Structures are given as structure tokens and as C-alpha cells.
Amino acid sequence: MPTPDQVVGHASPRHEALSRVDLTPAAASLLRDLTAQHGPLMFHQSGGCCDGSSPMCYPVGFFRVGAVDVHLGDLHVDGLDDPIEVYMSRSQFEYWKYTHLTIDVVDGRGAGFSIESPEGKRFLIRSRMLNDEELSAFGLSEALPAPPAT
């Protein structure tokens, strides 16, 4: 799992300093290469089926998002003019809303729907639970049950 100093980029729909999603330097590098080849990109966190639970990367406009999707934030990648929007289905977000996601990349091929597949790479998610500051900032601290009294 990447340490905080190994994470680049940030996304925050409500708070500049806090984010629900980040990316590793390796993912940022691949995104710069893919953007040069295909133009502006976006991610949709897959909910399963054919591609498991992988972050799927598409050229902007190739995947339609709508009212059933949650915008997790925008990744600001050094060297790219446009931020990379990150989405997840609303039903999946209900399970993941207490989780911070870091997009990483590894060698190997996914199932082929995501744009990095021909490069012999695949994006994947590394996750951790949101910390107390993030829970509060995202309005989730009230939703947590109180710890048992000791």
C-alpha cells in the first residue's frame, strides 16, 4: 500500500485538502501517457461482473454517467491540463462511502474494457478506512455507531 508521500494528485468535491480518491506516481505516469494517446480521461469504479471491482479508465464521453453514479472527485495530475473525474455507482458507494481509494497500476491485463489493457497494465484500487477528520468533513461521523463503553 502506498504511503502518503507516495501518493500524488488529489480529489475533493467539497474540501480541497481532503479527498476520497488519490493516485500513485505509477498511475499518474500511465495516465499522462494514456492522455497523450487518447485525450482527456475519466474513471468509473466497476462494481463487479466481468472486470471484478476494478477502476475502469475511459476517454471522456465513452462511458455515460448519470443520476445512478456518484462523483467521487477529480484527480489533478501534474502535466495534464484537465482533471480526471472519478465516479462510482450510487449503490456501490453505499458500501464504500467510509473508504478512501487510491488508484494504482500493476503489470498484467484486466478483462479488456479499460483503456490501459493494451499496454500490459491494469489499474487497481488500494483502500483504507477514512480517518476521523475525513469522516467529519464528508458528513459521515454522525452515521457511525458509538463505541461500546469500557
User: Does a structural domain hold residue 140?
Assistant: no
Q: How far apart are CA 19 and CA 23, in angstroms?
A: 11
pLDDT tens digits along 53-83:
789 999 999 999 999 999 999 999 999 999 9
Q: Which residue has the cell 452515521?
A: 143
User: Does a structural domain hold residue 146?
Assistant: no
User: Does a structural domain hold residue 49?
Assistant: yes
User: Does a structural domain hold residue 149?
Assistant: no
The mean predicted confidence, pLDDT, of the chain is: 84
| Containing structural domain, residue 121 | 4-135
User: Does a structural domain hold residue 60?
Assistant: yes
pLDDT tens digits along 14-45:
345 689 999 999 999 999 999 999 999 999 99
For every residue of 103-130, DSSP letters joined together read EEEEES--SS-STTGGGTEEEEEEEEE-
User: Does a structural domain hold residue 143?
Assistant: no
User: Does a structural domain hold residue 120?
Assistant: yes
- Note the pLDDT of residue 145: 65
Residue 143 has pLDDT above 70, yes or no: no
Per-residue pLDDT, averaged over 91-102, amounts to 93
- Note the pLDDT of residue 149: 76
Give the count of domains, the chain. 1
User: Does a structural domain hold residue 35?
Assistant: yes
